[in-house]
């Protein structure tokens, strides 16, 4: 059992209830769970994107452009739940071509939207975590 957060009262051996969204953010193994359609929009990325969820729960997912599909710092790998997501737009696909560590299950965290209840597992690529562990970088455009 992880101790990386305060929201670990879920028994992960039991599937999430019918109307619930359960997301595990790897590699921390931090899991959050909420009723589908109840999460307030945090104004980062598309509503119900992984970035929106991460921001709601104080989970760090880099988003240098602010969640408008103009960078690749929110790059994640979808380990489970891909069928419950929106399809990547042309804009997202074009942007991802520039992302390091591109895989078949790559998405941009600000553009990948959860469209239905279910269990989702996403991984922040290790290169991104190494970057993050050195401290939260400046957002694009803030450097003086
Ligand atoms: S935060 Fe910049 S593309 Fe997602």
Name the phi and psi angles at 75, rounded to 5.
-55, 125
Cα-to-centroid distance, 109 and ligand 1 (Å): 7
Pocket of ligand 1 (CB under 6 A): 63-65, 67, 69-71, 73-74, 108-110
Kindly give the number of the ligand 1 atom that is closest to the alpha carbon of 66: 1
Ligand 1 pocket test, candidate residues 54, 55, 60, 68, most atoms within 8 A of CB: 68
32 three-class SS: strand
Kindly give the number of the ligand 1 atom that is closest to the alpha carbon of 108: 4
What pLDDT is recorded for position 128? Answer: 65
Output the average pLDDT for the chain. Answer: 85
Model confidence pLDDT, tens digit, residues 29-65: 999 999 999 999 989 999 999 999 999 999 999 999 9
Model confidence pLDDT, tens digit, residues 16-31: 889 999 999 999 899 9
Model confidence pLDDT, tens digit, residues 88-99: 999 999 999 988
What pLDDT is recorded for position 140? Answer: 42
What pLDDT is recorded for position 49? Answer: 98
Please give the model's pTM, rounded to 2 decimal places. Answer: 0.83
Q: Class of the 40-133 domain?
A: alpha beta
Ligand 1 pocket test, candidate residues 50, 65, 99, most atoms within 8 A of CB: 65
Q: Strand locations in the chain, DSSP E?
A: 20-26, 30-35, 75-80, 106-108, 118-123
- The whole-number average pLDDT for the span 75-95 is 97
Cα–Cα dist 36/57, whole Å: 15
Kindly give the number of the ligand 1 atom that is closest to the alpha carbon of 95: 3
106-144: burial string, b at 16+ Cβ within 10 Å, e else? bbbbbbbbbeebbbbbbbbbeebeeeeeeeeeeeeeeee
């Amino acid at each position: 059992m992880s101790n990386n957060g305060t929201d670990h009262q879920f028994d992960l051996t039991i599937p999430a209830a019918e109307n619930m969204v359960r997301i595990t953010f790897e590699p921390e193994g931090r899991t959050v769970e909420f009723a589908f359609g109840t999460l307030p929009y945090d104004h980062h990325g598309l509503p119900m994107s992984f970035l929106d969820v991460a921001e709601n729960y104080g989970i760090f997912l880099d988003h240098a452009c602010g969640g408008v599909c103009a960078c690749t710092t929110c790059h994640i790998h979808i380990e489970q739940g891909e069928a419950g997501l929106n399809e990547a737009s042309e804009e997202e696909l074009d942007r991802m071509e520039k992302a390091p560590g591109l895989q078949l299950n790559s998405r941009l965290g600000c553009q990948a939207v959860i469209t239905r209840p279910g269990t989702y597992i996403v991984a922040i690529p290790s290169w991104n975590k190494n970057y993050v562990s050195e401290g939260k970088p400046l957002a694009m455009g803030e450097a003086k």
